[in-house]
Chains A and B, each alone.
Chain A
Amino acid sequence: MRSDVTQFELTAPATLTEVLRRLADNPGRHTVLAGGTELMVALNTGRLATHSFLSIQHLRELRFIRETPDTIQIGAGATFTDIRGSKIICAELPLLAQSASWTGSVANQNRGTLGGNICNASPAADTPPALLAYDANVTLISAASMRELPYRDFHLGYKRTAMRSDELLHTITLPRIYAGHRQYIRKVGTRNAQAISKVALAAIALVEAGRIIDIRVGAASLADRPLRCTAAETVLIGQTIGGEGMEALVRKARAALAGEAEPIDDIRSTAKYRIAVGANLLEEFLRSL
């Protein structure tokens, strides 16, 4: 049932500093609201846990896409439309641009933010596989401190993250080293727009003289959190692509992925199907190298 809106309070502090101060003063009391495409659905279906919300959607400090010589930095408040419209992201981080274009409809992309997609921490979210494959870093900020950690250490379990209740996600930083890498992304769902994935896989690899010298694989809906597929990566790194051992390598990589995946049965799909499709996507990527 829909919630009674008068039971909820939303304020829009003028600055990020003010938001952080409010979070620090009363840890756990406030929830930040960015584009609202998760939280407003929860409001409309009566599933909101907290009653006090701080809007961060208007904060210019969080909405940017910048480049340095070595990195691309994206503010947590950048929308999917901002990301798709960024020339540098389309050119250098095509997996991120592609996953942003899959995240709901145009209206959803105009409001939904990258920070919201990450912090909502759904195992099925679309941008995390790309961010894992690109080995992003995330910057968390609180009134007292700022810290940067590898994104692969951010998700701790089902909807559990390394972010403290007085912290906000500020920036997502991606290295600019992928020009020579092969890049792959595929979402399997009932349709591209609006449909939450049954399985999605994003991967990058650098192949030199037929050997894989760098590889990273991220997946959605294969575990209780966005999954970095390190077991499959370990099997593949240093191996020769396309030679006599290719069939054996593909089999080993599929087995490694199946071993590290722990998907669930739900309304969208079954665990068995998810493992099979995840392995098929990985194989498709390997055969494209």
Chain B
Amino acid sequence: MSDIRITINGQARSLNVPSMKRLLDVIREDLQLTGTKEGCGEGECGACAVLMNGELVNSCLVPALQANGASVCTIEGVAIDGRLHPVQQCFLENGGAQCGICTPGMILATQHLLNKYPRPTYEQIQEGLAGNLCRCTGYMRIFESVCKAAEADYLPDRGKA
């Protein structure tokens, strides 16, 4: 077991967890934030994606100890003062979410993409989301949602860990 400190969605927390416990399980079980989903558990699908110190990572592949001292942003930390973030609003309005399992990861991958490229090309969108699999939408509506979010007054400093 290890004592770790994580700043989760802006809030500092101390935990005692097995050092090899997956960050995904720390988030869902110890921090009780179940917005982050598990799909494959092998780094393939992006359902578990979160921002760690501003970097997009798959939390199923991060051992708890490697998140010690980190700032982590999950889907619960994206909305601003109880109002949907523009990226979330664009997914909602453009059919970017259906069953919703991939959506938390998609939204955080989009945040990461737009922080890096506020005006992404279509290729950059495709590459930025290539690690996030969706069984429902066929991707076109997701890409449209991201394009709309990039056109809208997306604020890069928001939703950062």
Contact = CB atoms under 8 A, between A and B. Distances in A.
Contacts of B20: 5, 8-10, 43, 53
B65 A107 contact: no
B66 A108 contact: no
Interface in A41-90: 41, 43-45, 53, 55, 57-58, 81
A33 B62 CA distance: 11
B142 to A, nearest CB: 15
B43 A41 contact: yes
- Give the secondary structure class of B's interface: mixed
Q: How large is the interface on A (under 10, 10 to 19, 20 to 34, 35 or more residues)?
A: 20 to 34
Interface in A192-245: 192-194
A288 to B, nearest CB: 23
A11 B132 CA distance: 30
Given A36-B61, A41-B61, 19 more contacts: A2-B41, A5-B21, A5-B22, A8-B19, A9-B19, A10-B63, A10-B66, A36-B62, A36-B63, A40-B22, A44-B22, A44-B61, A45-B42, A106-B112, A106-B128, A107-B46, A107-B58, A110-B56, A111-B61
Interface of B: 2, 18-22, 25, 41-44, 46, 49, 55-58, 60-63, 65-66, 68, 109, 112-113, 127-128, 130-132
14 contacts: A5-B25, A11-B65, A40-B22, A41-B42, A44-B42, A45-B41, A53-B63, A55-B63, A105-B46, A105-B130, A105-B132, A106-B109, A106-B112, A106-B128
